[in-house]
Structure 1
Amino acid sequence: MTSPGPIHGEHPIPQHTIRSARVVGDDGEESVLATVYCPVKERSTTVPECESCHRFHALHFDATARTTSVLCHTGPAGRGAERADVLRGVGKSLDPETPLADIMTRDVICVRPEVTVDEIATLLVRHGISGMPVVDAEGKPVGMVSRADVLRAAQERGDTEESERLTLRPDDVAPLDIEQGFHVYEPVKTAARDVMTPVVVQLHESASIRQAASLMAYEGVHRLPVTSDDGKVVGILSSLDVLRWFGRSCGYLIPPARKRA
């Protein structure tokens, strides 16, 4: 790891933040997909791929922002430079062609379709977010689940849950001390696939803020999954991300989104 600095009196080396998409499964296990956006190739790449490129300089960890970036000789600092979210874009002229890779939320939480609504509620509260993508086994979006979906499911469920009859083997009956004629029922857990909104809108990370804002307004949605060339989720764009970009472009100092441990 190293800190960015001038090279032979030239501009500081541009930094490109490493993004992570964490996918939570029904067993609570998390898998992490780490990528970085390459402004030269205009697509996401893996860190090992970056390190093998002749433009690669070093990795840099920012203790204040708690982010890791790739230092890369991709041109003058400023094009994709990401020293800190607080300062990025402040005072720059409004550029509607700014790519989503520059303004989207880079650390995104995703869930599998089989994750229960109760687990989703816990994730929403723990991370202080209002929605997340639902992804398949390949990490491609199949739906979006929001806080409103969770609340709606809880209201519809009320005090009673659906249940399914369990078939027990004879050896299972004795320990449970169940009399003949009685049956065991287990509550059916409501999962993400039952409450999610199927994905109808998503954008590639190289798409512009102009396209995203227009699409979100037209479709009436507050968040869009952002995908890479292979269709996997690498970020998420919310209406707040758009407003944050607009405010900074107008010269206001706006802090990054709050994160909860």
Structure 2
Amino acid sequence: MTTLGPINGEHPIPQHAIRSARIVGDDGEASVVATVYCPLKERSATVPECESCRRFHALHFDAASRTTSVVCHTERAMSAMGSADPLAGVSEHVNPAAPLSGIMSRDVICVRPEVTVDEVAALLIRHGISGMPVVDADGKPIGMVSRADVLRAAEERGDTEASERVSLHPDDVAPLDMEQGFYVYEPVKITARDVMTPVVVQLHESASIRQAASLMAYEGVHRLPIVSDDGKVVGILSSLDVLRWFGRSCGYLIPPGRRRA
């Protein structure tokens, strides 16, 4: 969470970044699900839901980072409730209770299980990442596919691809100019479902950085899907995200990473 400067001498107004989950289907088309984390409700909300809230102030676009945030009066409300901002002072000292909603990568690429391995590889290269969640029709994670999974599939496939025989109907023979007794063999498509790790280690967006670091170390994983109350992916936390947060919390100036592990 970031804050705008004081308006008319009043307390700075906090901003809450809008997260976007891009889900790529087997047709190559991507659908975008945009959410924002509300610290008062401690859950994700849609932008229209935020706009209808009486604490909503405006939508703010930062040209430098090309990100859009919801500007609202949550800080004033939390002060009235006697609650401090969970990220307050995080740049001054390490706060292990800092919530993941302000640390995770908010633009996450997801794929449906029917997407081919070749398309997964293209997405990994295009976006400079090494893994992504595999989600079902509801946007809930069912697995993780990584660069290692893609390389393993390519090695197992070798120079030849598995194929399956396609039966031809009599009407199909003439256009293909094939005699009876011949068959067509088509390569078997390898999909994200075939190569993904089907066990999903995930955390809720309200979980803390200490929980995430402990879980990643215990499970030996480099990335965690971060989900909302309804189980849908709203972000992803990588080991590099944890290291960047720790470095910044210790006072070091660390620019945003171009590539995410």
Q: Same fold (TM over 0.5)?
A: yes
Partner of 1:173: 173
- Does structure 1 retain, via aligned residues, the 8 Å contact 2:144–2:200? no
SS in 2 for 1:215: helix
- Please state if 1:52 is matched with 2:65: no
Q: Distance in 2 between matches of 1:58 and 1:80?
A: 22
Q: Distance in 2 between matches of 1:23 and 1:91?
A: 33
SS in 1 for 2:11: coil
Q: TM-score, normalised by structure 1?
A: 0.92
- Does structure 2 retain, via aligned residues, the 8 Å contact 1:80–1:102? no
Q: Distance in 2 between matches of 1:75 and 1:248?
A: 23
SS in 2 for 1:109: strand
Partner of 1:85: none
Q: Distance in 2 between matches of 1:163 and 1:129?
A: 30
Tell me the amino acid that sits aligned with residue 7 of structure 1. I
Q: Distance in 1 between matches of 2:200 and 2:17?
A: 28
Deviations 1:8-55 (A, max 9, x none): 302321000000000000000111110000011111000000001111
How much has 1:169 moved relative to structure 2?
1.8
Change (3 A) 1:80 1:57: farther
Q: Distance in 2 between matches of 1:200 and 1:134?
A: 9
**Structure 2 stretches lacking a partner, 5+ long:** none
Give 4+ residue runs of structure 1 displaced > 4 Å after superposition.
none
Q: Distance in 1 between matches of 2:103 and 2:32?
A: 21
How much has 1:259 moved relative to structure 2?
5.8
How much has 1:90 moved relative to structure 2?
7.0
Partner of 1:133: 133
- Does structure 2 retain, via aligned residues, the 8 Å contact 1:4–1:60? no
Higher relative contact order (CA 8 A, sep 6+): 1
- Does structure 2 retain, via aligned residues, the 8 Å contact 1:104–1:241? yes
Name the % identity: 81
Partner of 1:237: 237
Out of 232-241 and 92-101, give the one that drifted further. 92-101
SS in 2 for 1:16: strand
SS in 2 for 1:168: coil
Equivalent pairs counted in the alignment come to 252
Partner of 1:26: 26
- Does structure 2 retain, via aligned residues, the 8 Å contact 1:141–1:199? no
Q: How does 1:167-246 map to 2 (within 5 A)?
A: 167-246=167-246
Deviations 1:217-256 (A, max 9, x none): 0000000100000000000000000000000000011111
Partner of 1:8: 8
Q: Distance in 2 between matches of 1:219 and 1:89?
A: 30
- Does structure 1 retain, via aligned residues, the 8 Å contact 2:99–2:207? yes
- Does structure 2 retain, via aligned residues, the 8 Å contact 1:97–1:209? yes
Change (3 A) 1:80 1:127: farther
How much has 1:143 moved relative to structure 2?
0.2
Q: TM-score, normalised by structure 2?
A: 0.92
- Does structure 1 retain, via aligned residues, the 8 Å contact 2:86–2:97? no
Deviations 1:116-175 (A, max 9, x none): 000000000000000000000000000000000000000000011111111222121112
Q: Distance in 2 between matches of 1:40 and 1:185?
A: 58
- Does structure 2 retain, via aligned residues, the 8 Å contact 1:44–1:229? yes
- Does structure 1 retain, via aligned residues, the 8 Å contact 2:86–2:99? no
How much has 1:75 moved relative to structure 2?
1.1
- Does structure 1 retain, via aligned residues, the 8 Å contact 2:56–2:71? yes
How much has 1:89 moved relative to structure 2?
7.3
Tell me the amino acid that sits aligned with residue 130 of structure 1. S
- Does structure 2 retain, via aligned residues, the 8 Å contact 1:89–1:245? no
- Does structure 1 retain, via aligned residues, the 8 Å contact 2:86–2:98? no
Out of 174-183 and 51-60, give the one that drifted further. 174-183
Partner of 1:155: 155
